[in-house]
Amino acid sequence: MAKKENLLLIIKFMITILFLLLHCFGFGVAVGSSEGGKGRWQLLLNNTGVVAMHMALTHHNAVIIFDQTGAGQSGYRLRRRYNGAKCRGTRDDLEDWSCYAHSVEYSISDNSIRPLRLDTDPWCSSAAFLSNGTLLQTGGYGSGSRRIRYFRPCKRSRCDWKQSKRALHDERWYSSTQILPENDRVMVVGGRGVFTYEFFPKPSSGDTSIDLPFLHHPNDRHSRGNNLYPFLHLVSDGNLFIFANRESILFNYRMNRVVKTFPRIPGDGARNYPSSGSSVILPLDYTNNFQNVEVMVCGGAASGAYRTAEQGRFLNGLRSCGRMVISGNRHKWNMENMPGPRLMNDMLILPTGQILIINGAKRGCAGYGKAASPSLQPYLYKPKQILGKRFSVLRATKIARMYHSSATLLPDGRILVAGGNPNNRYTFTNVTYPTELRLQAFVPPYMDEQYDTQRPANVSINYNNSTYGVTYGEKFSVQFLLARRPSNVVEFTAYAPPFTTHAVSMNQRMLKLRCRSLVRVEDGWMRANLEAPPSPNVAPPGYYMLTVVNGGIPSISQWVRFKPA
C-alpha cells in the first residue's frame, strides 16, 4: 500500500513538473488574445520644440530626439552660441542656429522635455548604442558630415551631447551604422555619393575607408540614390546582411568579401532612400540556437516616383512585403501585400514578436514636398499566421507623420510617435503638411485593461555572479507576479531598441530566450531560470529590454545587459 501511495505521489510530481515546463517552453495555445482590439492613441505633449527626425530610447528610460541644426528656430532658446558668446535676442541671434536647441531629452515618467545642445549638424545621420548604453552618433550634413558625437545617458538629467576629437574618414550623409560583435566597434556604410564603409574605432591609425562595389550597382542617379540608408542586419554567423534598392548580399566585413549574393526582391520600384521602405530582422529563437535568420522588407516607392514628385505628381507607393531566410543555402523572397501602399513607414518589433508598421505616406517618395496622402492607420503583422491572415489594420491617428518622423517602442509597451516635417524650415502655415511638433503614444491592443489579470507584473532580474550584467551563455533568474495561473505559453524576450530615422530602425533586434525552469513560489510570485544568448554574434554587447509575455500579454520591460566574460 505504501509503495502504491509513493508511486502516485511520484506521478503527481512528474505531472506538475511537466505542466510548469510546458508553460515555460511555450507548448499549447495562448489563452489571452488581443486580436480583436485596434489600440488607441494618446496625445502626450502639444509641443516638443524640436522635430523628431531622429529618435532613440536609452536604458535610463528617456528618449533622445533631435533634428538638423539648419531647420530654423526651434522651441528652445539657449544662453550661449557654439563659440561661447551670449545669445541676447538680437536679430543676429534669431538667425544663429547655435542659439537654439536642436535636440531634447524626453522623460517617459515625467512626460517632460529637457533641451540639449548640438554643436554640429546631424541632418540625416546614423547611430548605434555601445555596450555601456552610450549612443554613438555618426555623420550628418556639411560640417557635421564627418563628425562623431556621443550621448551617455545618466540619472540626474545632467547629460548632454559631446563631440569626439576624432572624425570619420569619409563624409557620411544618409549612411547606416551597425554595431558589431566585437565590443564597442561599429561599421558605417554608404552615404550620398559615397560607396565605402569604415570602422570606428579604426583598427589602426592609418586605416581609411574601404570601397564596397555592391553600393555602386543599385545607385539610381535619376532618383538621388535609392541606395541610401542601406538596411543592415547582423547575422548569427557574424556576417552582415546588406540591402540597397532591390539588391542584397551577405558580407564578411572582416575579410572584405561578399559571401553570397541573394536573389533580387521581386516587383518594381525601390526600397531605400528616397524610396524609403523599411526592414526588420524577425525575432531570433533559442529553439534553433538563434541560427534561423529571416529578414523582412516592406513598402517603398514606385519607379520614377522621385522625378514625378518634382513635377507635382505623386505615384502610389509599394504595397508589397518580402520575407527571406538568409541563413542556410536556399534563399527565396516570399511576397505578400500590406493592406495598402506605404513608404517612409517605421517597422518595430513588439514584445509579442509581432511587427508594427506605422507612420509614412501612401504616395510619392521621401524628400521635401515629395509625398502625399499620409498613412494614418498602423498595420499589425503576425509572422506566425498563415499567408493571407497576417495583416490587420489598427486605429488611425489624426496626425500626419510623413517625412522626418520617427517611432520607437517604450518599456511599458506603448509606441512613442513624433515628428514630421516635409518643409526645409519649421513651417506651420500655408502648407499642406505643416511642421509637426506634437508627441503621441500609440497604445497597442495588448495593453487593454481586460488583459490586466494575465499581465506579468513587478518583473525583477537577478544576476548570479555580477551586478553589471549577464555573460554569454550564463544562467540568470527573473521573478514576476501573476494575478492568476500562467497561460500555456510564457515567453521571455530580449529586445535591443533601435536608433530610428528616415524609416530605418538601425540595430533593432529581438531574441526569444531559453527558459530552463518556471516555478510558482508563493502568493502569485513566479520564478524563471533563463539562459543568456550564446555569443555576441547573436546579441552584440549592450542593454536589452527583457519582457515576460504571458499568453500574448507582455509585462513592463526591465533592462538587462549582456556582456562578454
Dump pLDDT digits (tens) for 381-397. Answer: 999 999 999 999 999 99
At residue 518, φ and ψ (nearest 5 deg) are -140, 120
Burial (CB count <10 Å: 0-12, 13-18, 19+), residue 454: buried
Question: Long-range contacts: 238-243, Cβ < 8 Å, 24+?
Answer: 238/181, 238/537, 240/178, 240/187, 241/281, 241/293, 241/295, 241/326, 242/189, 242/212, 242/214, 243/271, 243/272, 243/279, 243/295, 243/297
Helix (H, G, I), strand (E, B) or coil at 44: strand
Eight-class DSSP state of 69: G
Question: How far apart, in Å, are the Cα atoms of 316 and each of 12, 360, 510?
Answer: 62, 12, 32
145 occurs within a structural domain: no
**Signed CA dihedral, 287, 291, 292, 294: sign only:** positive
Q: Is the pTM here over 0.75, yes or no?
A: yes
Q: Do the domain assignments include residue 6?
A: yes
* Inside any domain, residue 362: no
Work out the mean pLDDT of the chain and round it to a whole number: 92
Sign of CA dihedral 57, 62, 63, 64: negative
Q: What is the reported pLDDT for 93?
A: 74
| Pick from 272, 274, 202: nearest CA to 242 | 272
Can you give the CATH number for the domain in which 462 is found?
2.60.40.10
Counted domains in the chain: 1
Among candidate residues 300, 372, 294, 377, the one with its CA nearest the CA of residue 328 = 294
- Note the pLDDT tens digit of each residue in 252-261: 999 999 999 9
- pLDDT at site 24: 55
Cα gap 21→515, rounded to integer Å: 9
Which residues constitute the domain of residue 465?
A: 2-35+451-563
- Secondary structure percentages of the chain, helix, strand, coil, to 5: 10, 40, 50
- Percent of the chain beyond pLDDT 90? 81
In a domain, 220, yes or no: no
Identify whether 552 is part of a domain.
yes
Enter the C-alpha cell of residue 50: 524640436
The verdict on residue 170 lying in a domain is: no
Residues of the chain with pLDDT under 70: 1-36
pLDDT (0 to 100) of residue 36: 54
What is the predicted pLDDT for the residue at 55?
98
Domain membership flag for residue 327: no
Residue 449: per-residue pLDDT:
94
Cell numbers at 349, concatenated: 518589433
Per the domain annotation, does 9 fall within a domain? yes
